[in-house]
Structure 1
């Protein structure tokens, strides 16, 4: 499971690089799917990862408004601020945690830690697919989605 998080983080960094070539207007242009534009879809990926890890660890989730994030640098700074905490949790992951229950909102929602971690992996990959479509619409070559040859054995 850890290697798929490392994969997602590599791909995320590559998307940040690629999106750095786009104007702020292109990043915020209305698009179909995702969070309606490239910038806020990237923000959504970062926030969802952080919030689910905080759900697992019992920490408060973030109070983030997309309107407060108007540039790619805003999103990258948030990612770099939160990344060490998320990475620390992922690196401490062990198979014994997989079936540990996560109960939210006084029992309204029940998951296992493993379900949440697998959801986070799939969630990011899903949104990267949306980013890939939008990149092609802009005439860009999307970030390479291959897991192979990334040094993530």
Structure 2
């Protein structure tokens, strides 16, 4: 679990650096698919990650408004602010949390029950899905995308050498 969160954070930071080389109007441009555009997609990933981690722990959650985070610096600041809540939870993850029960309420009043491990894997997959969209948009701009490769990133001890 922790490995893929660290992977997502690493890739997200690489996308932020990629964005530094793209004009603001391109970052904000409405695009087909996703939640609208490049910057809005990065904002959305950060917001959803924090929201789910807050929610399964029974902590207060609120919906941020993208219009308040319409620059790369503001999205990075939000990411850093939310990481203070998310990272300690992720780094303290243990097997005993896998099947812990989360009970949620849908807008129509129905109750849904998920395991914490299922929710956390959804959060991981959610970012990976949106990173694929960013990769397509980067190619439309004629720029190479950030590599999605997990191999060679040094995310776990065994990555740093072979026995």
Q: Shorter-chain TM-score: what band? A: over 0.9
RMSD of equivalent CA atoms: 1.1
Per-residue displacement from partner, 1:54-109 (whole Å, max 9, x unpaired)? 01111111231111121111100000111121010000000110001100127612
Indicate which of 137, 145, 148 corresponds to 1:145: 148
Q: 109, 112, 123: which is aligned to 1:109?
A: 112
| Unaligned stretches of 5+ residues in structure 1 | none
Residue 22 of structure 2 is aligned to residue 22 of structure 1? yes
Cα distance in structure 1, aligned partners of 2:148 and 2:128: 9
**1:121 equivalenced with 2:136 (yes/no):** no
Aligned pair count reads 153
Q: Which runs of 4+ in 1 moved over 3 A?
A: none
CA distance in 2: counterparts of 1:44 and 1:63, whole angstroms: 10
Q: Which has the larger radius of gyration?
A: 2
Which runs of 5 or more residues in structure 2 are unaligned?
157-163
User: What is the TM-score normalised by the length of structure 2?
Assistant: 0.91
* C-alpha distance in 2 between matches for 1:23 and 1:81: 25
SS at match of 1:111: strand
Which residue does 2:136 correspond to in 1? Answer: 133
Query: Which secondary structure does the structure 2 equivalent of 1:102 belong to?
Result: strand
